[in-house]
């Protein structure tokens, strides 16, 4: 098997809700395991928190995430964005529209100086996304 790089998102206590939202956006199969199922926390209030979630889509995207235990600091100030790009304008616009539901547009999805359609948004869970739709040179 070749190497892979998969985004792994950290949440405080809403990973199940966030990962279900991403399943709505991208489709695919979502698997989630709680701390309680794995007997991985001595704090009973964390039993329902998600220890690991993995969303695998039909087109090969893999997005992972988990809740951060109360005993660990959650760094919500990290600077990162997840980038979606390609030539399937309908698919990418669909992702854009669904991710924007409840989120905040940073840069509208419109023609960029380099010719492609490009936009940036922050979804309702605080994850930053960039969407770039490659367009033919004669468009």
| C-alpha gyration radius of the chain | 17
Mean pLDDT throughout 95-117? 95
pLDDT per residue as tens digits for the range 11-50:
999 999 999 999 999 999 999 999 989 887 778 888 999 9
Q: What pLDDT score does 77 carry?
A: 62
Res 5: pLDDT: 80
Q: Is a pLDDT exceeding 80 seen at residue 136?
A: no
Say if CB 46 and CB 69 are below 8 A apart: yes
Q: What are phi and psi of 121, to 5 degrees?
A: -150, 160
Binned at pLDDT 50, 70 and 90, residue 110 comes out as very high
Of the chain, the percentage scoring pLDDT greater than 90 comes to 71
Q: Domains plus CATH for the chain? A: 8-67 (3.10.180.10), 82-133 (3.30.720.110)
Tokens of 41: 């926390």
pLDDT at 78: 64
């Amino acid at each position: 098997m070749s190497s892979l790089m998969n985004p792994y998102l950290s949440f405080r206590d809403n990973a199940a809700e966030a990962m279900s939202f991403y399943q709505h956006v991208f489709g695919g199969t979502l698997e989630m395991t709680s701390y309680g199922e794995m007997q991985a926390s001595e704090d009973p209030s964390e039993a329902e928190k998600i220890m690991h979630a993995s969303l695998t889509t039909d087109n090969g995207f893999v997005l992972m995430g988990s809740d951060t235990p109360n005993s660990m600091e959650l760094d919500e100030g990290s600077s990162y964005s997840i980038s979606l790009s390609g030539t399937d304008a309908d698919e990418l616009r669909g992702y854009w529209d669904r991710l924007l539901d409840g989120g905040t547009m940073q840069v509208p999805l419109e023609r960029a100086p380099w010719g492609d359609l490009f936009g940036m948004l922050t979804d309702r869970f605080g994850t930053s996304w960039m969407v770039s739709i490659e367009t033919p040179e004669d468009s």
